[in-house]
């Protein structure tokens, strides 16, 4: 009879890839709204803003950027937010990759941790997962888990383990 020793460990696995956003992320470059793609002239900017088809951003995340070296007054960002607010699921002034990580972190922050209470938990090793996500998961899990590990259920690396009845922690 085959005995699955990994199953018998009682270790719960958490895969951070499960929290990656499913939202489509679009880029919006402010330079297209600038006068001669160089400066903000209020009248021309407002006309260009009004001409944009904002429905293209419906239910999407929007990474706003400016690819030219221009002085952008804060009211421009406010005007963009006013247009995107009714249509976009999320928007911010940052690179697409940074916006994706923000959304990923928000999902991880909102994660229900109740099933990890006083459990042995391993955060799965995955390539290309930003370090900040591993750090956030660790921050959220340390107060509630019995043991926190990294890697795979069969060969985890212990990161944190509660010690004794006083719940003192040690880092290994």
State residue 7's pLDDT score. Answer: 58
Q: What is the pLDDT of residues 11-67, one digit of tens each?
A: 999 999 999 999 999 999 999 999 998 899 999 999 999 999 999 999 999 999 999
Q: Which pair of structure tokens corresponds to residue 58?
A: 């419906």
DSSP assigned state of 27:
E
Are 108 and 134 in contact by the 8 Å Cβ rule? The answer is no
State residue 50's pLDDT score. Answer: 96
State residue 169's pLDDT score. Answer: 45
Lowest mean pLDDT, pick from 81-85, 99-103, 120-124, 152-156: 152-156
Residues in contact with 103: Cβ distance below 8 Å, sequence separation at least 6, in sequence order: 21, 23, 25, 61, 90
Q: What is the pLDDT of residues 118-147, one digit of tens each?
A: 999 999 999 999 999 999 999 999 999 999
H-run or E-run covering 62: strand 61-65
In the predicted structure, residue 167 carries a pLDDT above the cut 80: no
Coil, strand or helix: which one is 115? Answer: helix
Residues in contact with 152: Cβ distance below 8 Å, sequence separation at least 6, in sequence order: 13, 122, 124, 125
């Amino acid at each position: 009879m085959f005995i699955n020793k990994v199953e018998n460990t009682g270790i719960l696995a958490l895969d951070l890839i499960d929290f990656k956003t499913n939202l489509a992320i679009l880029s919006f470059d402010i330079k297209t709204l600038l006068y001669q793609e160089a400066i903000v002239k209020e009248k021309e900017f407002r006309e260009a803003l009004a001409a944009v088809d904002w429905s293209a951003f419906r239910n999407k995340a929007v990474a706003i950027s400016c690819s030219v070296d221009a002085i952008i007054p804060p009211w421009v960002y406010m005007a963009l937010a006013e247009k995107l607010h009714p249509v976009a699921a999320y928007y911010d002034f940052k690179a697409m990759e940074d916006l994706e990580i923000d959304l990923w972190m928000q999902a991880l922050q909102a994660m229900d941790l109740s099933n990890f209470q006083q459990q042995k938990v391993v955060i799965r090793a995955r390539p290309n997962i930003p370090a900040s996500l591993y750090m956030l998961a660790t921050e959220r899990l340390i107060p509630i888990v019995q043991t926190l590990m990294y890697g795979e259920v069969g060969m985890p690396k212990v990161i944190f383990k509660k010690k004794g009845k006083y719940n003192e922690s040690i880092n290994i």
